[in-house]
Amino acid sequence: MSTVLDGFPAARGIVSARVHRVDWEIPTVPHRVLDPSEIDDELIRFAEARSAARQRLEELRARTAERLGEVEARIFDPQMLMLEDSEVVEGTERYVRENRLSAARAFEFRMLELKARWSRTSNPMVLDRLNDLEDLQTRVLAALLELADPWDLDSIAEDVVIVASNLTPSMVVQIESPHVVGIATDHGTRGSHWVILARSQMIPTVVGLGEVTRHASDGDEIILDGRIGRVIIEPEEQDRTTFLERRARLRTWEEAIESEARQDAVTRDGQPMSIRGNLDLPVEVENAKAAGADGIGLFRTEFLVLGRSAMPDEEEQFQAYRRVAEAFDGQAVYVRLFDLGGDKFPMFLNMPAEENPFLGWRAVRVLLDKPELFRAQMRALLRATVHGDVRIMIPLVNDVDEVQRVRALLEEEEDRLRRDGIPFSRGYKVGVMIETPAAALDAAELARHADFFSIGTNDLVQYTLAVDRTNAHLAPRYNPFHPSVVRQLHSVSRVARAAGIELSVCGEMAATVLGAFLLMGLDIDTLSVAWHTVPELKSVLRELEATSARTAARAALAASSARDVMECLADGIGDAVDLAPFRGRWELALPPR
C-alpha cells in the first residue's frame, strides 16, 4: 500500500528516487565531573572547539558565497555571531569553572537554557533560528567529542530523496552530490534558512509533511512533487504511471513556456493582462527579467534583513533598490517597506516573544513604533526613485491614520535629502497593501490617501478566515476561494475602479489557474506572482477568456461555499486548461495543459 502525504511545496520539481534517511541528532554528551586540575585545559579545549567551528563556518560561508551568492552566504552570520556571544561563551565557561562540568556538558547546558527561552514562542521565524542554534550546537559538540561529520553524502551512488525530521543550513549547503534529487521533511517552512538554500540550489523540496520520517525507510521508493507539496512512499503501479505522465507533460510544458516567456499575456478574447514578478532577493532580479515579468509587483525587502546581524545601511539598500529599478527600466517596481514581525523577525532585534505573532506587532505597526529602523530604507528608496519607477508600498495597513503617518515620515526624509542636496523624484507613488478585512472594508476611505492598492491575499485569507497561514494542520482550511474572500476582492476592485486608482493582486492565489481566472473575472488585470511562475501564468492566461471569467466570477459571487466557488471557476475554464491533477484542491502551482 502506498502512503500519500501532503506538506508545503517549497521548491519545484517532480522526482522519483529511493529514500535516504538522515537521522541526525544533536550528539549525546557523557556526564563527567572534572578534577580541579583539569579546568584550565578544559577551557582551552572549549576555545579550540569554537575556533574549529568558526573555521568550518567560514568555509561554508565562502562556499555558499561562491555557489549561490553573497546574500545566501549571510545565512551563516547569525551562527558566527552566536559563537562569539557572551551569553554563550561566558555562560559555558562559568559552568566549567564553577560546576566543574566538561566543556561539552557545560556547552550543552547553556544551549538548552537558550533554547528553552526561545522556545516559549510559536513564532516560526524564531523556531527557524532555533534550527540555526542546533546546527551550531552539533558542530561545536562534534569538535569537543571528536565525532565524525554525520553528513556524508559523497558515497551515495544512486538517486535519492533525503528524508529527515528537519535539516540545517550547513547540511544543505554541503549537498553537492548530483544524486540528491529531492528533500522531504517533517518540519520546516518555506522561509526556513535551509529551505531558502535548497530552493537556490533548485533541489525539489517538500516540507512540513508532519510524519514522513515515520513512514519512509531507507531504500523505499518515493515520488516527490515539489509543485504541489506531495510525496508518495512505496507507490503503486498506478502512482508510477501517473508520475511518469505528469513529469513528461510538465517537461514539455516547461520547455514550451520558456520559449514563450517574452510574449504578452493577452487572453484568447484579446484582454491584455499585466503580469509582474514578486522578488525576495535582489540577486533574483535578472531571472525575473528573463522570466518576462512586466515589472516587479512586490519586492519583499525584509529578506535583506533576515539572517543578518544588523540592519543593512542606507548605501547597501540604495544599491539593492537601484539594481532592481535599473533592471526594469521603464517598468514599475513596487518596493514594500520592511514587513517585519509575523513569521519574519530578525533575531538581532530581540523582539519580545508574542503569543499570536500574526496578530501582533507586525509590518506598519513596527514601522510606526520604531521609525528609526526604517529611516535608512526610506532614504534609500527615495534616492532610488531617480533610477527608475520605484513605488513604495506599506504592508498590513488597517486605517488612514497609518498611511498619513508613514507619508509624514517620508516627508521628513525628503527634507533631509533636500538639505543634503541629494536628488530624488518628486511625485513618486505611495500605496497600501490590502491585507486585512479592515482595509478591504474601508478601502473607499484608504483610496483617498493611497496612490495604488495591492491586495496581499496570503494575509487577507489568513485574517478573514482566522486560519494561520503557516500552520500545516490547517492547510485544508486555508482556502482563498472562501466566499468571504471573493466578496472582499470584488468590493476592493469596485472601489479602486471608482476611485480611479491602480489595483493589483500580489498573493499566491494569483499564481493559480483558478485564482487568476477569478481575479480577471473581477476586473483585476494586474497580477504579481513569484517571478519563476510568470511564464507559466502568462501561458495559461493566453488560453483563457476574459468574458467567461466575468461570467464565472458573477456565479462565484453568488456561491455559498469555497467548493462551490471553485466549481463555478472550473466550469468557466472548461477544457481550456487541464485542471485534472488539481480538482478539488487549490494549489500554489499551475498545472500543465
Residues labelled catalytic: 193, 506
| Residue count, binding to Mg ion (CB under 5 A) | 3
* Distance in Å, CB of 29 to ligand PEP, minimum: 40
The correct pick among 220, 413, 459, 567 for binding Mg ion (CB under 5 A) is 459
Task: Examine residue 456 and tell whether it contacts Mg ion (CB under 5 A).
Answer: yes
Task: Out of 435, 536, 567, 587, name the contact with ligand PEP by CB under 6 A.
Answer: 435
Please identify which residue in 507, 515, 535, 572 interacts with ligand PEP, judged by CB under 6 A.
507
* C-alpha angle 253-258-262 in degrees, rounded to nearest 5: 130
Element (H, E) at 562: helix 562-573
Burial class (CB in 10 A: 0-12, 13-18, 19+), 262: exposed
The three-state secondary structure class of 50 is helix
Phi, psi at 326, each rounded to 5°: -70, -35
- The answer to whether 470 and 189 have CB atoms below 8 angstroms apart is yes
Instruction: Compute the distance between CA of residue 316 and CA of residue 219 in angstroms, rounded to an integer.
Output: 47
Dihedrals phi, psi of 102, to nearest 5 degrees: -65, 155
Distance in angstroms (rounded) separating the CA atoms of residues 163 and 26: 17
Q: Is 280 in the site for ligand PEP (CB under 6 A)?
A: no
Query: Quick check: 300 binds ligand PEP (CB under 6 A)?
Result: yes
Q: Among ligand PEP, Mg ion, none, what binds residue 392 when CB lies within 5 to 8 Å by partner kind?
A: none
In this complex, which beta carbon is closest to ligand PEP, that of residue 157 or of residue 466?
466
Exactly one of 42, 402, 459, 468 binds ligand PEP (CB under 6 A); that residue is 459
Q: Is 357 in the site for Mg ion (CB under 5 A)?
A: no
Binding-site string for Mg ion from residue 315 to residue 334, where x marks contact by CB under 5 A and - marks none: --------------------
Nearest distance, CB of residue 287 and Mg ion, angstroms? 22
Element of type H or E holding 297 = strand 296-300
Identify whether the C-beta of residue 81 lies closer than 8 Å to the C-beta of residue 309: yes
Distance of closest approach, residue 468 Cβ to ligand PEP, in angstroms: 13
CB nearer ligand PEP, residue 103 or residue 305 = 305
Residue 357 burial (CB < 10 Å; 0-12/13-18/19+)?
buried
- Per CB under 6 A, contacts with ligand PEP among 328-347 are 339
9-17, 147-155, 157-165, 454-462 -> range binding ligand PEP (CB under 6 A): 454-462
Q: Could you say which DSSP state residue 27 is in?
A: P
If the CB atoms of residues 300 and 308 are measured against ligand PEP, the closer one turns out to be 300
Q: To the nearest whole angstrom, how small is the minimum distance from the Cβ of residue 452 to ligand PEP?
A: 14
| Residue that is written with C-alpha cell 550547513 in the block | 170
279: helix, strand or coil: strand
Strand (E) or helix (H) holding 568: helix 562-573
Q: Which does 506 bind (CB under 5 to 8 A by kind): ligand PEP, Mg ion, none?
A: ligand PEP
Least spacing, CB of residue 458 vs ligand PEP, in Å: 3
* Choices 36-44, 70-78, 448-456, 468-476; region in contact with Mg ion by CB under 5 A: 448-456
Write the CA distances from 131 to 208, 393, 548, integer angstroms: 14, 32, 48
Which of 22/298 has CB closer to ligand PEP? Answer: 298
Residue whose C-alpha cell is 482566522:
466
Say how far apart CA 321 and CA 318 lie, in whole Å: 5
**Smallest separation (angstroms) from ligand PEP to the CB of 395:** 7
Per CB under 6 A, does 516 bind ligand PEP?
Answer: no
Query: Is 471 one of the binding residues for ligand PEP (CB under 6 A)?
Result: no
Report the residue number, 506 or 569, with the smaller CB distance to ligand PEP: 506
Q: Does 458 bind ligand PEP (CB under 6 A)?
A: yes
138/14 Cα distance (integer angstroms) = 32
Give the CA distances from residue 522 to residues 512, 547, 551, 555, in Å, rounded to whole numbers and listed in that order: 15, 11, 10, 11
Least distance (Å) between residue 507 CB and ligand PEP: 3
Stretch that binds Mg ion, among 142-150, 298-306, 434-442, 509-517 (CB under 5 A): 434-442
Any idea what the Cα angle at residue 134 is, between residues 133 and 138, rounded to 5°? 120
Closest distance of CB 340 from Mg ion, Å? 12
Least Cβ distance, residue 197 to Mg ion (angstroms): 23
Shortest CA distance to 394 belongs to which of 424, 414, 371?
A: 371
**Nearest to ligand PEP of 42, 339 (CB atom):** 339
Residue of 298, 340, 351, 495 that binds ligand PEP (CB under 6 A): 298
Cell 497600501, residue located: 432
515 binds ligand PEP (CB under 6 A): no
The secondary structure element, H or E, covering residue 391 is: strand 389-394
| Rounded Cα gap, residues 120 and 130, in angstroms | 11
- Name the β-bridge partners of 8: 207
457 binds, among Mg ion, ligand PEP, none (CB under 5 to 8 A by kind): ligand PEP
Q: Is the Cβ of residue 132 or residue 435 nearer to Mg ion in the bound state?
A: 435
Map residue 6 onto helix, strand or coil. strand
Query: Nearest to residue 107, comparing CAs of 79, 132, 138?
Result: 138
Q: Which of 506, 544, 565, 589 binds ligand PEP (CB under 6 A)?
A: 506
Selected range binding ligand PEP among 161-169, 306-314, 397-405, 452-460, rule: CB under 6 A: 452-460
* Binding region for ligand PEP (CB under 6 A) out of 14-22, 27-35, 313-321, 456-464: 456-464
**Residues at the interface with Mg ion (CB under 5 A):** 435, 456, 459
Q: Which residues bind ligand PEP (CB under 6 A)?
A: 298, 300, 339, 435, 456-459, 506-507
